[in-house]
Structure 1
Amino acid sequence: MKAAVFEAIDQPLRIENLADPEPGEGDVVVKVGRCGICGSDLHMASDPAYGCAAGDVFGHEFAGEVVATGRHVASLRPGDLVAVVPLVSCGACDHCRRGAVQWCAAFALQGGGYAEFAKTRQNQCIKLGTDVSLADGALVEPLAVALHGINRSGMKAGDKVLVLGAGPIGLALAFWARKRGAARVVVQDITPFQQERAIEMGADTFVVDLADPVGAADRALRGKADIVFECVGAPGLITQAVAQVKPQGTILLLGLCTKPDTLDTFAMLAKEVSLVTSAFFTIPDYEAALAVLDQGAIEPRLMISRTIVLDQVPQVFESLKQRTGDCKVMIAP
């Protein structure tokens, strides 16, 4: 099979021919139909903290058609269309039974979507409804990450919400915040590239003001935020969020930051700010994200900016390391 393969930090991906995967007893082989390029993939290719090795195949946002199953797989058969939950787990422990698979002792991250075929496990496959496309299936993961953040934040109808960062996760948060009844949703970024998309997905206002980010957000929100969602992962943004949130408000941390940061704990304590983190998602989050697409929600589909083939992946992947007008680029192997 053809795949886009990681070679080394800060080196372009390389197209290679690899052996087709064979299913083990409890495994499923999926013909990849769509796979999203995630911002964390870009970070993994540039930051040694993620521990990527030569020969790795990225791609955790994918959906496709089941083409082979192991002899212990009873719930799926060839021809089924599935979205793949990219969180490896045993499927049997207490955490797995309640859907919190990220706390399973066997937890690992599933990649492999930048290829024609990928091997996964039956408990990671969620069948797609008749009204859900493979492109929709590849959108479920970022939608579920954002929904988990919303749930962790304790957001209520009527809250004022500020989203820092207009990447796919930030835009998905704007969608969920609007759907959950936020009184006002403001998305803030350092470039205007995603302004139109953010408004279409649920934001009231899009803010770009490098000179006065706190004042600009206050004016757009008409006060301080009840909840600030930090979706960038850059040092200094938690301190900025403290200045943007109301007393006894919440900062929900979703951005992945591998660099040390300094917190102004005095300012946080003075406001009694709650700093909450959000990691991955639960299976109920994932199923709810899939259900909203199955019910016809149009807004999440607006994140898809273009679709490319595997041979284009190395060049496009490199271009995405710089800020562009792209949002969610899909691969159609």
Structure 2
Amino acid sequence: MKAAVFKGAGIPLVVEILPDPEPGEGQAVIKVQRCGICGTDLHMTSGHGNDFPDNSVIGHEYCGEVVAIGKGVDTLKVGQFVTAMPVGGCGHCAPCLAGYPMACAQMQGLVGGFGEYMRIAAQSSVILPETLSPADGALVEPLAVGLRGVRLAQMQPGARVAVLGAGGIGLAAIYWARLLGAGKVVALSRSTRRADLAMQMGATGFETLGEGEVERMVALLGGMPDIVLECTGAVGMTQKSIELVTPGGTVVSLGFCTAPDPILPSLATWKQVTMKFSFAYDLREFQHCADVMAAGHVEPRLMISRTVGLDALPDLFEALRAGANETKIHVDPWGGQ
């Protein structure tokens, strides 16, 4: 098969011909139809100390057609259109049975969406409705990240919500906050380049971070936010979330900052802030995202900037690493663009 291979930090992806994968026990192989490029892909190939292994095929926002079934799999059939969580577990422990294999002691990553074929864990997969497109299927994973973060906030109907960041996860958080009952949602970002998109995804206001940010945010929300969803992963944004949230409010971190990020505990204590840190999603959240899109909620499609083929991916990946202005790019491993 053809795949874009991560060779090591500081080295562009290389398109190579690799052996087709075979399904192990409890696994299936899919023909990848689409895979989104995530900020995590860029971060974990940049030499920050937690990179993907050298000579690996990455890509975890994928969907595709089942083409092979491994031993012990009775929940999938060849020809089905599926997406899957990019992990597998033992299948028998409490976390696995609850649909959260991330907490399994035997958890293993299953990435590889930047290739024509890849292995998935059958128990971590969701069969997608035929009404969904490959582009829809590859949006399930980032949407599930946003859904989990909003659910963790335990938002009350009519809540005032501030979302820091207007990238893919920030946009997903905006979408779910509005869909799940927020009163007003204000997006705050360092630039205005995604202001229109944030509004289309459900934000009721958009402001840039900087001088006067609190006053401008309060004017749009009608008060301090009950919930702040931190979706940038940048150093300093956790503390800023504490500063912005109303006393007694809730801060949820979805940004996955991998560097030390100091906060002032006395301010959080004085304000009696509840802080939560959201990691990934579970299988029910994956299923819910697919069901909502199948019911006709098509706003998430607006996040997709364009679709490219594998041959174009290495140069594009480096452009994104350098800060190219794109929102969500999908890779079609069988396309020629």
Question: Would the TM-score normalized by the shorter structure come out above 0.5?
Answer: yes
Q: Secondary structure at the match of 2:305?
A: strand
The equivalent residue for 2:123 is 123
Larger CA deviation: 259-268 vs 68-77: 68-77
* 85-94 or 312-321, which deviates more: 85-94
Distance 1:65 1:43 in 2: 28
Q: 2:136, 2:109 → 1: CA distance?
A: 21
Residues of 1 paired with 2:302 and 2:173: CA distance? Answer: 14
Matched, 1:297 2:324: no
Residue 74 of structure 1 and its aligned partner are, at CA, apart by 2.0
Residue 123 of structure 2 aligns to a residue whose secondary structure is helix
Which deviations, in whole Å up to 9, do the C-alpha atoms of 1:242-280 show, x marking residues without a partner? Answer: 111000001101111111121111111110011111111
The structural deviation recorded for 1:287 is 0.9
The 5 A counterparts of 1:1-333 are 1-333=1-333
Q: Supply the distance in 2 between the matched residues of 1:94 and 1:314 (Cα, whole angstroms).
A: 40
Return the TM-score normalized by structure 2.
0.95
The more displaced of 37-46 and 208-217 is 208-217
Separation in 1, partners of 2:248, 2:114? 43
CA drift of 1:328 comes to 0.8
RMSD: 1.3
Structure 1 contact 190–208 (Cα < 8 Å) conserved: yes
Between the two proteins, the alignment pairs up a number of residues equal to 333
C-alpha distance after superposition, 1:172-228 (max 9, x if no partner):
111111111211001111111111111001001111143333333223222210000
**CA deviation vs aligned residue, 1:39-73 (integer Å, no higher than 9, x gap):** 10010011433242211111011000111112422
Q: TM-score, normalised by structure 1?
A: 0.96
In 2, distance between residues paired with 1:324 and 1:196? Answer: 18
Determine helix, strand or coil for the equivalent of 2:262. coil
Q: 3-state DSSP class of the match of 1:42?
A: helix
Secondary structure (helix, strand or coil) at the match of 1:50 reads coil
For residue 323 of structure 1, report the CA deviation from its aligned partner.
3.7
CA contact (8 A) 1:193 1:324 kept: no
CA distance in 1, matches of 2:186, 2:220: 7
Runs of 4+ in 1 over 4 A off after TM superposition: none
Q: What fraction of aligned residue pairs are identical, expressed as a percent?
A: 41
How far apart, in 2, do the equivalents of 1:322 and 1:220 lie? 33
Q: Which moved more, 1:318-327 or 1:104-113?
A: 318-327
- Gap runs ≥5 in structure 2: none
* Residues 9 and 51 in structure 2, CA contact (< 8 A), matched pair in contact too: no
Q: CA deviation at 1:77?
A: 2.2
Distance 1:52 1:102 in 2: 17
SS of aligned partner of 1:120: strand
Does structure 2 conserve the Cα–Cα contact (< 8 Å) formed by 1:88 and 1:109? yes
The letter of the residue matching 2:97 is R
SS of the aligned residue for 2:226 comes to: strand
Tell me the SS of whatever aligns to 1:255.
coil
> What is the alpha-carbon distance in structure 2 between the residues aligned to residue 66 and residue 96 of structure 1?
22
Provide the rounded CA distance (Å) in 2 between the counterparts of 1:83 and 1:40: 19
- Deviations for 1:13-46, whole angstroms, at most 9, x for unmatched residues? 1111111111223321110000000110010011
Distance of 1:15 and 1:322 partners within structure 2 = 20
Q: Output the amino acid matched with 1:203.
A: A
Deviation of the 1:132 alpha carbon: 1.2
The DSSP-based 3-state class of the residue aligned with 2:30 is strand
What SS does the corresponding residue of 2:79 show, helix, strand or coil?
Answer: coil
Which range moved further: 48-57 or 9-18?
48-57
AA at the equivalent of 1:89: G
2:247 match: secondary structure: strand
Contact 2:87-2:124 within 8 A present in 1 as well: yes
Query: Structure 1: any 5+ residue segments left out of the alignment?
Result: none
Q: Does the 8 A contact of 2:100 with 2:282 survive in 1?
A: yes
SS in 2 for 1:242: helix
Moved more, 306-315 or 24-33: 24-33
